[in-house]
Amino acid sequence: MSKIRVYADTSVFGGVFDEEFESPSRIFFEQVKNEEFILVTSAVVQDELNLAPEVVKDFFDEMLIFAEVIDITEEALMLRESYLEANIVTNKFSDDALHVALASSSSCSLIVSWNF
List domains and CATH numbers for the chain.
Answer: 5-112 (3.40.50.1010)
Residues 79 and 84: their CA atoms lie apart, in Å, by 9
> Following DSSP, what letter does each residue of 56-84 receive, concatenated?
HHHHHHHHGGGEEEEPP-HHHHHHHHHHH
Q: What is the pTM of this model?
A: 0.92
- pLDDT by position in tens, the chain (length 116): 689 999 999 999 999 999 999 999 999 999 999 999 999 999 999 999 999 999 999 999 999 999 999 999 999 999 999 999 999 888 888 999 999 999 999 999 999 999 86
